[in-house]
Amino acid sequence: MPHSLEETRPGETDSIESHRLSAVLQMVSGLAHESHNALQRAHSCLELLELGTIHGDEQHQLIAIVRRSLTDLNQNYERVKAYASPISLTRSLVDLTQLCQTVFDEMSDSLCACKATLKFINGHCSARTLIDSTQMRTVLRHLFDNALAASGPKASIEISCFDAVLREQNAIELHIRDHGTGLDSSIECQLFEPFVTHKQRGAGLGLAVCRRIITTHGGEIDVRNHPEGGVKVRIILPR
């Protein structure tokens, strides 16, 4: 039996969201421009200070920490600009399960998570659909990054795929489940809000970016605790 998921998305809501993102992009672009010279001066001062230090001593280490912090600040500006910028799609026929495996393998190598495993639970669905593979890779990287962070080096992530119906159209439904610590109830209702995060680093935009990409595809995404532990992400995309 195909899964069904219905949602009303009035054009008025889309217009408000578009104006909000435009305002965010304008604001952060201005901040980034105004901050550029200040960041450059800070980096120049750090280089001068570093000349008077010995590699490995306490002052040298403190300078390295400050330099990384400035880099993080600049990257946060870029993340916010990327989040608020318009998304254009270049669709091609892609096998979602194969894409999941490719992205997971790349991340496992880069994170040295050699003991992490990806398991495909359901093979009765055709996972081929028209999507922008580059944008979907961004979604999967965010979701796998969260799953690996919550589960540790021996992470076990399960992928399930189902035929579905979305707004009376044929669709594909993808489930991504981890066996990690689960969601904190205090942030569960704010997961897709931008700038909300419980991590020490980052701008809190990962899931917000995922939602923008999925909705631009005409799809839907939700994240919730699995009754048997861990987190389940459900993505549904029109075929």
* C-alpha to C-alpha distance for 89 and 217, rounded to whole angstroms: 8
Written as one string, the DSSP assignment of 159-199 is: EEEEEEEETTEEEEEEEEE--SS---TTTGGGTTSTT---S
For 127, list phi and psi in degrees, rounded to 5: -95, 10
Digits of tens for pLDDT over the chain (239 positions)? 444 444 445 455 556 666 666 666 666 666 666 777 788 888 888 888 888 788 778 888 888 888 888 887 777 777 777 777 778 899 999 999 999 999 998 887 655 555 788 899 876 677 889 999 999 999 999 999 888 888 877 778 999 999 999 988 999 999 999 988 888 777 767 777 766 665 555 456 788 889 989 999 999 999 999 888 889 999 999 98
Q: Residues 20-27: contacts with CB within 8 Å, 24+ apart?
A: 21/83, 21/84, 22/84, 24/80, 24/83, 24/84, 24/194, 25/81, 25/84, 25/85
Full-model pTM: 0.69
In terms of Cβ atoms closer than 10 Å to its own Cβ (0-12, 13-18, 19+), residue 178 is buried
Both tokens of 161, joined, read: 């795929």
Both tokens of 120, joined, read: 């495909």
Both tokens of 92, joined, read: 């091609």
Residue 201: which residues within 8 A CB-CB, separation 6 or more? Answer: 72
For 54, list phi and psi in degrees, rounded to 5: -100, 135
Three state DSSP letters for 48-103: HHHHCCCCCCHHHHHHHHHHHHHHHHHHHHHHHHHHHCCCCCCCEEEEHHHHHHHH
